[in-house]
Structure 1
């Protein structure tokens, strides 16, 4: 429940509750969250606080919001393993609006920018990419 006497803002408390429900599996990937109106009634909050809570969860990549439909638990995406064969630089940053659209990256999810010698830079969504380097042979 929401603790109105707490120093923690109510929208953060609501985000914590929904996040815990997602982590515990009470809200499953692809499942609709309760409507803003339902959340307002259930937790005795105003619309602004509910929208702020959903914004926090969107920025964490946990939920997606579809205009005129509502908010949903973000579906699981398959992980892609990228093996880096040679020397490389990896930088993390937030994607541009065009990159978000091209790679279907939700708000709040960063990208890896992979620069390898002799190859074009690659943009890899961080929420579905595992970067791996080959293991070096033991030097006994």
Structure 2
């Protein structure tokens, strides 16, 4: 599949779809660096802004991370830990505070899950590592 400049789908979205497909096909392993922005721009015959927008889309989806000085790499995936939530509870997702990002060592764009139960302190869990199991 290649980039179609005549398509109604924006170029950055086409590139993001192509890169996601390559990642899902195993061409880029978890933790492996993607080609540089310049290499991607040349390989797909698009501008650097298009590449940046495509990488930003993949980052917001949690497919890749970008590390300053190292470039973009496929996000490592971990089997989630199951946390059981018994009784009545409200569960909400939100973006973490700076302190929570530090505490859980969260990458940009990773939300937290907040469990509220009456009479108890709220529980905060990193959404990329936890699955909540709600009981009766």
Q: TM-score scaled by structure 2?
A: 0.90
Which residue pairs with 1:122 in the alignment? 123
Taking only aligned residues, the RMSD between alpha carbons, in angstroms, comes to 1.5
Gaps of 5+ in 1: none
Deviates more, 1:119-128 or 1:12-21: 119-128
Is structure 2 residue 78 aligned with structure 1 residue 71? no
Which residue pairs with 2:38 in the alignment? 37
Deviates more, 1:11-20 or 1:86-95: 86-95
For residues 120-139 of structure 1, what are the alpha-carbon distances to aligned partners after superposition, in whole Å with 9 as ceiling and x for unaligned? 111112222111123x5xxx
Which residue pairs with 2:91 in the alignment? 90
Structure 1 residues 130 and 43: CA distance shift in structure 2, 3 A: same
CA distance in 1, matches of 2:126, 2:107: 10
CA distance in 2, matches of 1:8, 1:97: 35
Which residue pairs with 2:23 in the alignment? 22
Partner of 1:8, secondary structure, is: coil
CA distance in 2, matches of 1:28, 1:119: 41
Which residue pairs with 2:5 in the alignment? 4
Gaps of 5+ in 2: none
After TM superposition, give the deviation of residue 109 of structure 1 in Å: 2.6
Q: TM-score scaled by structure 1?
A: 0.88
Given that residues 115 and 122 in structure 1 are in contact (C-alpha distance below 8 angstroms), is that contact kept between their aligned partners in structure 2? yes
After TM superposition, give the deviation of residue 118 of structure 1 in Å: 3.1
- Which of 1 and 2 has greater Rg? 1
After TM superposition, give the deviation of residue 15 of structure 1 in Å: 0.6
